[in-house]
Amino acid sequence: MNTAGRVIKCKAAVLWEANKPFSIEEVEVAPPKEHEVRVKIMATGICRSDDHVVTGAMVMPFPIILGHEAAGVVESVGQGVTAVKPGDKVIPLFVPQCGECQNCLNTKGNLCSKTDLGTSLGLMPDGTTRFTCKGKAIYHFLRTSTFTEYTVLHESAVAKIDSAAPLEKVCLIGCGFSTGYGAALQTAKVKPGSTCAVFGLGGVGLSVVMGCMAAGASRIIGVDINKDKFAKAKELGATDCINPRDFQKPIQEVLTEMTGHGVDYSFEAIGHADTMIAALASCNMSTGVCVMAGLLDSEISIDPTLLLTGRTWKGTALGGIVLKMAVKTIQHFLSWQFTNHSKRGFSSKRQLKKSTALNISIRHANYPPLVPHRNPLILKSRKHHTSVWHQHWSLSPDPDSNTTLPQLPFSHYSGSSSLLFLGWKPTECIPKLVSGYLEKKFNSDLLITHTLPFAKVNEGFELLRAGKR
């Protein structure tokens, strides 16, 4: 039956209010308007970003359909759409690429001004919604909303991928894998022969490990309080794995002693203030680079000398990658023999306030403490998977100022993060990612830990919160 131009009735996981379970409902999905695309979601994942909306930590309007890391097939397109056609396999982009705004045209950035990140309106660009349930309008999440059999996205928010790519394997590219891999290759620009420390060996942390290995790092030290993650980390490229609880001294001192001068690059993929400071302090005091790849769970107060001595402290938006292009690249090597990638890329809106004090605090507005090593899950729509995330923080002068789809299965993969994708432009990411894949430098299949049917979306979130893997 041809559904183009018609309203589609399908199943979706609707969140009617905060701190309540998802309800599998029949929803009506309107046909795409001009420059919009309606996609049949085949796989989607659960990430901590989704859970922040559930708990009320991330303020969004209700009722809402969550989900933003997925893969699917174009069902129909609106007038003027030229990038994709019905039948194309695509990955939704919660960071779109309009190609016209200042950010898209700037060679240094990837955070398109047409994203819903930071505004949290829950609406399409024209200010309306495409979902209704029981006569009530249902809001969108980051203009993706993938916890549903069908969703509508703007043309600039979908990336066409290789028709041979397995959707259940590549859905993670929409957020998590790109975040971690790009943190190493593009944001930090890890150099061959360097020493790296990765705090948090969840999905994003493991992707960082793979990125460091692909960059030619000679030593990659994984840091985590869960020793069960060590074997997987080493399989993906970590040379050493240490548990902070095994030492009587701060972990940054341990890392400094292990390397003699501190690591060249450190990555924090957990989201805790203490590990963020430890990661910064663990890198070389003069030339070290520390990348924030985890969503902070509280304010952070730092000793300014940690930076004044020469260290560089960086953040990144989804690794900064231009998704439409990078997805094709990663997808290329994924379809070769690759598998799933980790999740938690995430979006972030930063508000910078002028600070007159050296002892600044970084506060994640609207976010509660996070589980140290969170594990996004993947909702699998009959044959597929995925995941999500979102960050918001501000600098203040005083530290004291204060899942889918009807019958979709789920895959749970370890994860944690805070970058907005890779952090690079297509001309950089394509050759690097293709080379990494062809050289078999990583195996993303190891990032998936659970697969559940869609009807068990609430169970998936329970696993996420419990850190089960």
What are the Cα distances from residue 292, in Å, to 183, 250, 265, 277, 317?
A: 9, 19, 11, 10, 10
Between β-strands 219-223 and 240-242, what pairing exists: parallel, antiparallel or unpaired?
Answer: parallel
Q: Where are the beta strands (DSSP E) in 250-333?
A: 265-268, 289-292, 312-314
CB atoms within 10 A of CB 280: 24
CB atoms within 10 A of CB 402: 8
Q: For residue 110, what is the DSSP state? A: -
Q: Determine which one of 10, 23, 35, 49 is catalytic.
A: 49
Residues present in the chain in total: 469
- Phi-psi group of 84: left, alpha or beta (phi > 0 → left; psi -120 to 50 → alpha; rest → beta): beta
User: In this structure, what is the dihedral angle of CA atoms 296, 441, 90, 82, given to the nearest 10 degrees?
Assistant: 110
Q: Determine which one of 10, 175, 196, 290 is catalytic.
A: 175
Of 322, 339, 345, 344, residue with least CA distance to 437:
339
Residue 49 is among the residues annotated as catalytic for this protein: yes
Location of structure tokens 């056609």: 85
Residue 101 is among the residues annotated as catalytic for this protein: no
| Radius of gyration, alpha carbons of the chain | 21
Q: Determine which one of 10, 35, 52, 417 is catalytic.
A: 52
String of DSSP letters for 354-396: ----SS-EEE-TT--PPPTT---EEEESSS--B---EEEEEEE
Laid out side by side, the sheet with 265-268 consists of: 240-242, 219-223, 195-199, 265-268, 289-292, 312-314
Q: Determine which one of 47, 104, 212, 283 is catalytic.
A: 47
Q: List alpha helices for 94-172, DSSP H.
A: 102-105, 167-170
CB within 8 Å of 360: residues ≥ 6 apart: 301, 302, 395, 396, 397, 399
Residue 390 is among the residues annotated as catalytic for this protein: no
The SS3 call for residue 419 is coil
Location of structure tokens 């930090």: 188
CB within 8 Å of 324: residues ≥ 6 apart: 93, 97, 159
Q: Whole-angstrom Cα distance, residue 318 to residue 289?
A: 18
Tokens read off for 152: 């509508």
CB within 8 Å of 218: residues ≥ 6 apart: 192, 193, 194, 195, 239
Tokens read off for 445: 């299949």
CA 243 to chain CA mean position, Å:
25
Q: Determine which one of 10, 35, 68, 381 is catalytic.
A: 68
- Any idea which residues carry the catalytic annotation? 47, 49, 52, 68, 175
